[in-house]
Amino acid sequence: MKSTLSKPAVLLLQDGTIFQGKALGKIGTHGGEICFNTGMTGYQEIYTDPSYSGQVIINTTSHIGNYGVMTAEESESSKVQIAGMVCNEFAPLHSRHTADGSLQDFLENAGVVGISGIDTRALVRHIRTKGVMNCLISSEIFEIEDLKKELNKIPSMEGLELSSTVCTQEAYNLGEENAEFKVAVLDLGVKKSILTNFTDRNCYLKVFPAKTSFEEINAWNPTGFFVSNGPGDPAVMPYAVETVTQMLNSDKPVFGICLGHQILAQVCGLHTYKMHNGHRGLNHPVKNLITGLSEITSQNHGFAVKLEDIQVSDRAELTHINLNDNTVEGLRVKGKKAFSVQHHPEAAPGPHDSRYLFDQFVDLLK
Ligand SMILES: NC(=O)CC[C@H](N)C(=O)O
């Protein structure tokens, strides 16, 4: 067993609560906003999803690491994005014939500081009651006052713009050049599997950095626009709201996922808010109000669009609702070929119930 895994570690929450456990990943000190994901599989996809930038992930499933990693195939971006990881049982050994390494090595090489041996049920119940907060994990500092000092340096997720730091810094193309449709992607922290869902549907892509102007994007002459998922607070991204406003004004089809949905909502004059606790998991029930059918969805968000705003909007119409807590899950823009969802139709990880939304977008491109 790696020696790291036998060293002690500590988790300090912003409200002063302390959990003791064992180190994993890299020996060090790191923190972020503490969030829980209830998915039972897909840890590698989660850790490499750019939407998790700045967040420490509690995996509520009881065993993590047991199937190792497939570095290239199962990563949602080119690096590990999470700010830390908390779990109950961390598997020192993995078993899967296609794995190319262990999760311990994967996290250690990525510089991720983690902690295992935590009663994740108690921890999640605590956060569910108190609401989302910052935390610090350390396997090198054990003095409470020193830990508190480090924790206080972590910024609040509310008011934080992160897309421009995690997105591509150079525009690039993906797919077959002679494909039927050309989709311009506004990269706010896009997941790889979203892009493959487009290229699998006869779309040639050009992926643009978050702060690219509409003029530059439209100069490529796309058939339609996609506004991606991504980390941070949607309320502090006026640049993206401006770009998507112009996308909408062009009358070409527009599709948004998660952060992209929150931006499209703001274009329609709706507001977003920070949730008491976000939605992160693979089994969240959502109802499509147009078809009357429900779908089981993959989710990862800490902000949401205000339901009261969309109920009185003359620009946006509610298309999907969350069956657990009646939060806004989807909208379409009246009189435009534009729609968006809060959940993740690409899944990765998660069920594929909502993949029809990619087909719906391709139908609009036609
Ligand atoms: N997956 C996402 O795009 C997340 C959107 C946004 N950062 C939120 O937490 O709500």
Which residue minimizes the CA distance to atom 8 of ligand 1?
301
361 assigned to a ligand binding site: no
pLDDT digits (tens, 9 = 90+) for 293-336: 999 999 999 999 999 999 999 999 999 999 999 999 999 999 99
pLDDT digits (tens, 9 = 90+) for 331-343: 999 999 999 999 9
ipTM for the predicted complex: 0.98
In the chain, % of residues over pLDDT 70: 99
Which pLDDT score is estimated for 1? 56
Ligand 1 geometric centre to CA of 92 (Å): 31
292 assigned to a ligand binding site: no
Stretch(es) of the chain classified as CATH 3.40.50.880: 163-365
For ligand 1, whether the C-beta of 300 sits within 6 Å is yes
Torsion angle (degrees, nearest 10) of CA 347, 351, 356, 358: 10
Q: Look up the CATH architecture of domain 3-151.
A: 3-Layer(bba) Sandwich (3.50)
Q: How many CB atoms lie within 10 A of CB 100?
A: 14
Ligand 1 geometric centre to CA of 4 (Å): 32
Atom of ligand 1 nearest to the CA of 232: 7
Which of 231, 266, 233 has its CA nearest to residue 248?
A: 266
The residue-averaged pLDDT of 199-223 equals 98
Asked if residue 168 has pLDDT above 70, the reply is: yes
Question: Rounded to whole angstroms, how far apart are CA atoms 117 and 115?
Answer: 7
pLDDT digits (tens, 9 = 90+) for 108-152: 999 999 999 999 999 999 999 999 999 999 999 999 999 999 999
Q: What is the mean pLDDT of the chain?
A: 98
Contacts of 297 (CB under 8 A, 6+ apart): 284, 285, 286, 329, 343, 344, 345, 350, 351, 353, 354
Are the CB atoms for 34 and 302 separated by under 8 Å?
Answer: no
Asked if residue 282 has pLDDT above 70, the reply is: yes
pLDDT digits (tens, 9 = 90+) for 73-92: 999 999 999 999 999 999 99
For ligand 1, whether the C-beta of 303 sits within 6 Å is yes
51 assigned to a ligand binding site: yes
Question: Rounded to whole angstroms, how far apart are CA atoms 226 and 297?
Answer: 20
- Model confidence at 2, pLDDT cuts 50, 70, 90, reads low
Which residue minimizes the CA distance to atom 5 of ligand 1?
259
Q: Which fold has domain 163-365?
A: Rossmann fold (3.40.50)
Atom of ligand 1 nearest to the CA of 258: 3
262 assigned to a ligand binding site: yes
Stretch(es) of the chain classified as CATH 3.50.30.20: 3-151
Q: Which residues belong to the active site? A: 258, 344, 346
Question: Rounded to whole angstroms, how far apart are CA atoms 331 and 264?
Answer: 9
Ligand 1 geometric centre to CA of 347 (Å): 14
For ligand 1, whether the C-beta of 298 sits within 6 Å is no
Question: Rounded to whole angstroms, how far apart are CA atoms 248 and 95?
Answer: 48
- Model confidence at 3, pLDDT cuts 50, 70, 90, reads confident
Ligand 1 geometric centre to CA of 82 (Å): 13
